[in-house]
Amino acid sequence: MIRDQETLNILLSAIARFVRERLMPVENEVAESDRIPEAVVAEMKTLGLFGLSIPEKYGGMGLTMEEEVLATFEIARASPAFRSLFASNNGIGAQSIVIDGTMAQKARYLPRLASGEIIGAFALTEPDAGSDAGSLCASALRDGDSYVINGTKRYITNAPEAGIYTVMARTNPDKRGYGGISAFVVERGTPGLSLGQIDKKMGQKGAHICDVIFENCRVPASALIGRREGAGFKMAMKVLDKGRINIAATCVGVSQRMLDDALRYAMEREQFGKPIAEFQLIQAMLADSKAELYAARSMVVDAARRRDEGQDVGTEAACAKLFASEACGRIADRAVQIFGGAGYLAEYGIERFYRDVRLFRIFEGTSQIQQLVIARNMIRGFAD
């Protein structure tokens, strides 16, 4: 749903200009230093990028899902590491509070998330619980007016920078499966919370992940999100439904960038006396990429519109994430191929995207998990 096209156009063109003039020129610097310059982070805050989807009442822009994916298409034309820094405040690092938080939790955290003063991280995955999120082991045992959290969370995006962590832990260890899982908001600096070393990754330099370790970490009972025990797993799944649409939108933006770069190269690079874009085998790669990009974009917009209408979008979010991330991988591969030898060299940048986008088929649910979600929902629908 687009509330006001004119206002949205102003935002989209401001983002496009920021991407072109401020982010793209420092992509190499960020990849080499593994750090986004402070000045760029400050400009992200001024533009409101940390609060795109946080309600206006709490200082965000309150974008609808459709508006947000259109913004993401623009943002994701730059290296995905930039988006990673503020994406968790619009997605998995804040949505548990937006969707299920108490009034007090919303008032305490959402304004600071919206301004970028703090970053939110989502701590679901554990060393032994990845795709099988319902088997997580971290515990949060009630003790008087508090809960005591123990356990380790792994691959947590933005954990080194985060000011708050949404932590899924078992409040009822006797209850196996998802029913015993609750969600907590835990503040950085709480005694008993520590961070592991920043992990070295294949790509997305400038975006950081690490372990988050809880050792007798005591939080007040008011840290329980929604003040309901046992609701954490379903809440995490709802948060991931939105997150998956956003990852799919990111795949569309990055795919567009890679295809633009590949087309430009194919028009400029000459072999056998003419631009390689005039050869049909190159054209086939360009055309397949364009068609897949169009399909992915259409799926993302449709899933976003359905979510805005209040529909249950578990299936559509999984379809969009599955298709867009797999297509993005194929488009990256073709872009490197079109660049030829230059595609393998760091200075042309396309190999960096090739490594960066590999993550999209893995995080916020692997492609295999998306297939499983889609098929399960089909089977359940048939049974009903």
In sequence order, the 6+-apart residues with CB closer than 8 A to the CB of 75 are 15, 19, 49, 82, 83, 250, 253
Q: Which is nearer to ligand COS, 131 or 194 (CB)?
A: 131
In the numeric block, which tokens belong to residue 75? 């943002």
Given the rule CB under 6 A, which of 36-44, 199-207, 236-244, 283-291 is the region that contacts ligand COS? 236-244
**Cα–Cα distances in angstroms (integers) from residue 325 to residues 205, 307, 330, in the given order:** 19, 20, 9
Phi, psi of 102 (to 5 degrees): -75, 165
- Of the pair 195, 237, the CB lying nearest ligand COS is at 237
Task: Please report whether residue 123 would count as binding ligand COS according to CB under 6 A.
Answer: no
User: Contact between 237 and ligand COS (CB under 6 A)?
Assistant: yes
- What is the token pair recorded at 91? 């997605």
Q: What letter represents residue 92's amino acid? A: I
**For residues 66 and 241, which CB has a smaller minimum distance to ligand COS in the complex?**
241
Instruction: Determine, following the binding rule CB under 6 A, whether residue 320 of this chain makes contact with ligand COS.
Output: no
CA pair distance 166, 170, nearest whole angstrom? 13
- Give the 3-state secondary structure of 320-349: HHHHHHHHHHHHHHHHHHHHHHHHHCHHHC
Provide the mask over 241-260, with x wherever binding to ligand COS is found by CB under 6 A and - wherever it is not.
Answer: x-------------------
Q: Is 133 in the site for ligand COS (CB under 6 A)?
A: yes
Interaction between residue 238 and ligand COS (CB under 6 A): yes
How near is the Cβ of 33 to ligand COS at its closest, in Å?
25
If you compute the radius of gyration of the chain from its CA atoms, what whole number of angstroms results? 21
- Tell me, yes or no, if 43 is annotated catalytic: no
When binding is defined by CB under 6 A, the residue of 33, 131, 283, 368 that contacts ligand COS is 131
Contact set with ligand COS (CB under 6 A): 122, 124-125, 131-134, 178, 233-234, 237-238, 240-241, 314, 363-365, 369, 372-373
Hey, which residues are catalytic here?
364
